[in-house]
A = this chain, B = another copy of it.
Amino acid sequence: MRIVVDAMGSDHHPGPDVEGAVQAAKTWGDQIILVGKEDVVRSELSKQDTAGASVEVVHAPEVIEMDEHTRAVKRKKEASIRVGMRLVKDGKADAFVSAGNTAGVLASALFDLGRIRGIRRPALCTIYPVADHPVLLIDNGATADCKPEYLVQFAQMAVAYVEDAWGLSNPRVGIISNGEEADKGNMLVRDTYPLLAESDLNFVGNVEPKEITKDVTDIALTDGFTGNIVLKTTEAVASFLGRFLKQQLTGGLLNKIGLVLMIPGLVAMVPGIVLLAPSLLRVSKRLDYAEYGGALLLGVDGVVIVGHGRSNARAVKNAIDQARRAVESGMLDAIRRDVVERE
């Protein structure tokens, strides 16, 4: 498999991007194509142990910065994101991975790959991090303004992907709403509800955020604006609670005395803590974006993964793994077969 990785993607590019790519090449033996400013990429690459890794560099003189708009993306034809997309379009690679500007990746995917014929709008999906079981959240930011028929296609694409990539047949689809009853929701949800109910999807109705965390649905369907807000609220709350707890525990003088008094106890607890460590690690892993890698863009004519801007090398490697699995699952063919041809 050949995977293109945007070397100029993450906030701290090219370090994490190049390191994650090299690790992926070594782990899975895939061919990695790094796109970016050649001298910068080669210089970073020289710091890595690339023995046994199949890595090539394709020069892209321009970079799309984090705050650049669609207009800039359109103009910068030689930016790493756009050069990478064209490698996929031209059949020279099987997937594209970038931890760069999401709007930029999206715009470039639409310009250079285009939509799968018959797909109305693209959608980004990701595994929702705060749940006991895997839930695919779709759309988390590709299409902010949706119509009911877009949402129905998002659900169909998600089902095609989940069936092939997760091996889960007939996954449950719930639509995110402000109440469980069928008449709850904004106009978009209320108009989409009957279409989903009449479809052959395994539709479980409206789901509230608390139900997403429980085992009520496999796919949590929503428009790109709401999905993005759900994901960002989740990150904000988890990060705030961690920060708040830390600050409260280390803040005042009395707290400091309290912590000092706790030291002998903490020492006595060491054997217990060692046994508990794997559990505590599972808690923090749960919210670590490096673990869940990136978001998969559905509906465009190629496999595209958008990583978190704050990605480290491990997150980039995991995003590459997501791309590999999406290619292996035959996602594009599944969408053509299950969504487009059945309409």
Give the B-binding residues of A (Cβ under 8 A).
67, 69, 103, 130-132, 141, 144-145, 176, 178-179, 181, 183, 185-187, 189, 208-210, 212-213, 223-226, 228-230, 232-241, 244-245, 248-249, 251-252, 254-255, 257-276, 278-280, 282-283, 286
Output the nearest chain B residue to A208 by Cβ-Cβ distance. Answer: B232
Q: Which of B223, B229, B259 contacts A272 (CB 8 A)?
A: B259
Residues of the B chain whose Cβ atoms lie less than 8 Å from the Cβ of A266: 265, 269
Whether B229 contacts A176 by the Cβ 8 Å rule is: yes
Q: Which of A131, A181, A272 has the most CB of B within 10 A?
A: A272
Do B229 and A178 touch across chains, with their CB atoms under 8 A apart?
yes
* CB-contact partner of A145 in B176, B187, B254, B274, under 8 A: B187
Would A229 and B232 count as touching, CB distance under 8 A? no
Question: Given the known A-B contacts A144-B186, A236-B210, A286-B244, are A275 and B257 also in contact in the complex, defined by CB atoms under 8 Å?
Answer: yes
Assess A248 versus B130: contact at CB under 8 Å? Given A209-B229, A209-B233, A241-B238. no
Closest to A223 in B: B186
Bound complex: CA of A280 vs CA of B141, how far in Å? 36
Q: How many copies of this protein are present in the complex?
A: 2
16 extra interchain contacts, Cβ-Cβ under 8 A, other than A213-B240, A248-B279?
A: A130-B237, A130-B241, A145-B186, A178-B224, A178-B225, A178-B232, A208-B236, A209-B232, A229-B230, A229-B233, A234-B237, A244-B286, A259-B276, A264-B268, A265-B265, A268-B268
Interface centre among A132, A234, A237, A269 (most CB of B within 10 A): A237
Q: Which residues of B contact A144 (CB under 8 A)?
A: 178, 185-187
